């Protein structure tokens, strides 16, 4: 039988441990790269860049209407506020702003519903089960934005 000194046993043990750890790390890296690539390719998560929907006709029409309402409200405020105290002006201003915000919300609701319906149709057609705002996603997901824009612009 071969007699080894303590230092030789320690060196051999360290070498075996290093080879084992290196193998485990290499295996883990090769598996994680494959799963990331596979997950991105077969993702059932969609992403939509809602910021791009500002250019669709419904949104631009609503914005034009809101601009006209704001101009009308400003004109009305200036006419009525001429004979008001500062406190009355402040109160009337707040009421006017609340009214404008409510009108905007009322006008935006059907547009939002139309966008969400288009997102759902595109996602269903592509087998996507979850759709997230693109701003919230760091990596991955199938971008549905252009398909949704095409559907909305028809």
Q: Over the stretch 99-125, which tens digit does the pLDDT of each residue have?
A: 888 888 888 889 888 988 999 999 999
- Half-sphere exposure of residue 113: CA atoms within 13 angstroms, side-chain side: 6
The string of pLDDT tens digits covering residues 2-46 is: 565 666 666 766 667 666 666 666 656 655 544 444 444 456 899
Is residue 107 a contact partner of residue 65, using CB atoms and an 8 Å limit?
yes
| Domain layout of the chain by residue ranges | 1-42, 43-152
Of the candidates 63, 69, 60, the residue with the CA atom closest to the CA atom of residue 97: 69
- What is the torsional sign of CA 51, 56, 61, 64? positive
Of the candidates 134, 150, 153, the residue with the CA atom closest to the CA atom of residue 45: 134
Tell me how far apart the 2 most distant CA atoms of the chain are, in Å: 112
Domain 43-152 superfamily per CATH: Skp domain (3.30.910.20)
Q: Helix, strand, coil: what percent of the chain each, to 5?
A: 75, 5, 15
């Amino acid at each position: 039988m071969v007699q080894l000194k303590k230092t030789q046993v320690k060196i051999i043990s360290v070498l075996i441990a290093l080879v084992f750890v290196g193998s485990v790390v290499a295996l883990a890296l090769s598996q994680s790269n494959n799963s990331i690539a596979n997950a991105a390719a077969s993702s059932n998560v969609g992403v939509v860049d809602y910021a791009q929907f500002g250019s669709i006709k419904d949104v631009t029409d609503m914005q034009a209407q809101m601009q006209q309402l704001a101009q009308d409200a400003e004109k009305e405020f200036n006419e009525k506020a001429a004979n008001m105290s500062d406190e009355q002006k402040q109160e009337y201003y707040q009421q006017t702003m609340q009214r404008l915000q409510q009108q905007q919300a009322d006008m935006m609701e059907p547009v939002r519903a139309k966008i969400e319906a288009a997102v759902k149709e595109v996602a269903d057609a592509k087998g996507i089960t979850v759709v997230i705002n693109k701003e919230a996603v760091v990596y991955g997901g199938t971008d549905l934005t252009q398909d949704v824009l095409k559907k909305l612009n028809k």
